[in-house]
Amino acid sequence: MNPNRRLCVIAAVALLVVTAGCVTVSPSIGSSEDSAVFERVSTVSEWGTSSVQASVTLAPAATTEMGVTRLNVITDSGSSFYTTTVDAGQTSVSLPIPTQTRSQIVAVNTVNGTVVDTYNVTVRGSRYP
């Protein structure tokens, strides 16, 4: 790698750490729950600060038969962290999951205002100041 480019990368990472707080390295998303809506939640991120990008695989019937139209990420304190809509037939969703707390992914049917399923997740990994 070019020395100037290496210096830029080091400076960018240092700035990110200073402004964002802790860095979680080699994150993984864990849950021990069975779910009718959520088949898999994982990440391929190598690191994250306040969140990591997660890949959520929904059951084929989640958006059709069960009527899921929205996913909400809620922190352990009850705060809304992220919300996204899902289309009928959609089985793959990308969304951020916080690294500093346990979270829930809540599948909602916005047509009739019901919670279809709740999935508890935790991001694990090595944390550095």
The whole-number average pLDDT for the span 5-12 is: 60
Residue 8 is assigned to a structural domain of this protein = no
DSSP string, the chain: --HHHHHHHHHHHHHHHHHH--EEEEEEEE-----SSEEEEE---SEESSEEEEEEEE-TTTTTTS---EEEEEETTS-EEEEEE--TT--EEEEEEESSS-EEEEEEETTTTEEEEEEEEEEEEEEE-
Residue 109 is assigned to a structural domain of this protein = yes
> For residue range 15-34, what is the model confidence (pLDDT) as tens digits?
554 555 689 898 888 887 89
Query: What's the predicted TM-score (pTM) here?
Result: 0.80
Residue 51 is assigned to a structural domain of this protein = yes
Q: Where in the sequence is the domain holding 65, given as residue range(s)?
A: 24-128
Total number of domains in the chain: 1
> For residue range 47-83, what is the model confidence (pLDDT) as tens digits?
899 999 999 999 999 999 999 999 999 999 999 999 9
Residue 1 is assigned to a structural domain of this protein = no
Residue 98 belongs to a domain with what CATH number?
A: 2.60.40.10
